[in-house]
A and B are shown apart, each in its own frame.
Chain A
Amino acid sequence: MTSITNDLPPPPRGLLRRLAGWLHRRPSVRLGGLLAGPVGWLVIVYLGSLAIMLLNAFWTRDAFSGQTIYVPTLKNFEDLINGPYPGITLRTVALAAAVTVTCGLLALPIGYFMARIASPRLRNALVVAVIVPLWASYLIKVYSWRLILAEEGILNWALAPLGLKGPGFGDVAVWLVFTYIWLPYMILPVYAGFERIPESLLEASSDLGGRSWTTFRRILLPLVFPAMVAGSIFTFSLTLGDYIAPATVSTTIFIGNSIFANFGAGNFPLAAALSLVPLVIVLIYLLIARRLGAFNAL
């Protein structure tokens, strides 16, 4: 055993060593040292920014000079209620819900296949095969759909022999692109959810006379549901704030587009107030997801 310790250099003497000893006797100082950087950064840079954004939402912009007026008012919030924004918010939430449901439906067969039909080798390969495109350049994936859906693009070319035509650019395209982009975020938790279900439960169901469909509906689906909710946090939250995809394949305005338009026009207070809309919706969604057991399924 001594040969192992002999390989290591003798501990340094002097100031560093004394400091190490001093720290060793004071776990709270050590802990403070570890936490100061990361917590300081996240609290000051991130939570601080959210707080300043919240504060910004109470300022207004002078329509003539373009200067921010630092007098707290509720004018931005009145705009949120009275302007076109309730309709835009509703449309965005409906889109996020549609994308989430579609992703959930698509994730079920492939998640089930990965967890319960594929061999262990194939399963591992498939997990990587789903993870890698999840990370592949987001913007390029959106851009690719611009090429696919173009009038002379591959989709219309493929559908032409059938006498059909693709959806072209518009709301259907936005739904399609979002479903495409966030799908891997849903597949991974659903796969993990299926994998966690013990085989014995399914055997018990079939012993009791449950057919495949009954077992799926009454055993598998309820058990995998929290995993679907976990996946939906991403599909829902990411759709809610995105404006790149709608701006690329449609002209429809969603909440993200309104925020960006106001930001671009220099109306920071209104943009800040608008940003609170997806923030509040996502926080409510997270609370619901937690009640549905999603956090245990992550």
Chain B
Amino acid sequence: MTIGRGTRLALTVAAAAILAFVYLPIALIVVYAFNSGTTPSWPPVGFTLHWFEEAIRNTGLQQAFLTSMAAALAATIIALVLGTLASLAVSRYRFFGRDAISLIVIFPIALPGIVTGMALSSTFSQVGIPLGFLTIIIGHATFCIVLVYNNAIARLRQTSATFEEASADLGADSWTTFRYITFPNLRSALLAGALLAFALSFDEVIVTIFTAGGVKTLPIWIFQSFRLANQVPVVNVAGLFAILLSVIPVYVATRITSSTGVAGSRV
């Protein structure tokens, strides 16, 4: 279609404006983290690194940060194992209910977080599992499986099963084939899926609130602190950390899988 120069220009300007709309609020947090003022008033008063010191010394924040890291790592490992197993089953076998698996994997992330959170919370109290670190991990792992699964299955669909058959024909057993053929082929896709799972778990707040009991993850700490006026500068710094720790893994994941282009679309 030949579009007029005016239309073209208008679309370019609109696209730039929308991109600015997407980025400005994130940039704002970065600016505020270095603002020497203690209120959200604009423009910033001056430049300081003082709040970084304060943030690092804040024991509540430290604890929350470590809890988030540990929970995200544990949830990622569970998701990695379960997501890989499911993707191998769906891509290499035909069986009754195969399509249902793709659907049930997506469910925990496609339904509103509050439904997942409420459901898990009801179950934990019914079964008698006390809310805490363990239940956070169970909740996070549940909605992280899909990220590993999607990346792994996209890779498995790209490569034919004949390599694995050839390996078997040459005398390799299932373990050897997995170790030397299937796994090396999957490695970067699994890394991308794991990075996304980590980022999502590190960032998640709604399901976490319902399953955390009294445990504080970084998002919960931030959510409880940003109403307290005296905490605003430290929250800004914590926000900068939270952004970096969700953005960097995702950026790396998109680079790793740029050929398949799966990584970024959350579902």
Residue of B nearest to A280 (CB): B115
Is A114 engaged at the interface, CB distance under 8 Å to the other chain?
Answer: yes
> In the complex, which of the residues A126, A133, A243 has the most CB atoms of chain B within 10 Å of its own CB atom?
A133
Q: Which of A112, A136, A143, A278 contacts B11 (CB 8 A)?
A: A112
Is the CB of B70 closer than 8 A to any CB of chain A?
Answer: no
Most buried by B among A141, A148, A205: A141
Docked Cα-Cα span, A215 to B168, in Å, equals 55
Contact partner of A113 among B14, B196, B210, CB < 8 A?
A: B14
The interface size bin for chain A is 35 or more
CB-CB under 8 A for A241 and B113, given A37-B82, A110-B19, A131-B264: yes
Scan A245-273; emit 1 where CB is below 8 A from any B CB, else 0.
00010000000100110010000100110
Bound complex: CA A127 to CA B19 (Å): 11
* Residues of chain B with a CB closer than 8 A to A286's CB: 110
**In this assembly, does B213 line the interface, its C-beta being within 8 Å of a C-beta of chain A?**
no
- A241 in complex: contacting residue of B93, B196, B206, CB < 8 Å: B206
Is the CB–CB distance between A147 and B40 below 8 Å?
yes
Q: Is the CB of A39 within 8 A of B86?
A: yes
Task: Give me the interface of B with A, judged by CB distance under 8 Å.
Answer: 1-4, 7-8, 10-12, 14-15, 18-19, 21-23, 25-26, 28-29, 32, 39-43, 81-83, 85-86, 88-89, 93, 95, 101, 104-105, 107-108, 110-116, 118-123, 125-126, 138, 141-142, 145, 149, 168, 170-176, 180, 196, 199-200, 203-206, 209-210, 219, 222-223, 226, 235, 239, 242-243, 245-247, 250-251, 254, 258, 261, 263-267
Given contacts A131-B264, A263-B210, 18 further A-B contacts (CB under 8 A): A24-B174, A27-B93, A34-B88, A35-B85, A37-B81, A38-B85, A38-B149, A131-B263, A132-B250, A132-B251, A143-B222, A152-B39, A157-B42, A212-B4, A234-B267, A238-B113, A259-B114, A282-B110
Q: Chain A: residues with CB nearer than 8 A to chain B?
A: 5, 8, 11-12, 16-17, 20-21, 23-24, 27, 30-31, 34-35, 37-39, 41-43, 45-50, 52-53, 56, 106, 109-110, 112-114, 116-117, 124, 126-141, 143-148, 150, 152-154, 157, 180, 183-185, 187-189, 199, 202-203, 205-206, 212, 215, 233-234, 237-238, 240-244, 248, 256, 259-260, 263, 268, 271-272, 275, 278-279, 282, 286, 298
25 A-B pairs with C-beta separation under 8 A: A16-B175, A35-B101, A38-B145, A41-B82, A46-B108, A106-B21, A110-B18, A134-B266, A135-B199, A137-B219, A138-B203, A138-B219, A140-B29, A141-B25, A147-B40, A148-B28, A152-B39, A184-B22, A215-B1, A237-B111, A237-B112, A242-B206, A244-B205, A275-B115, A279-B111
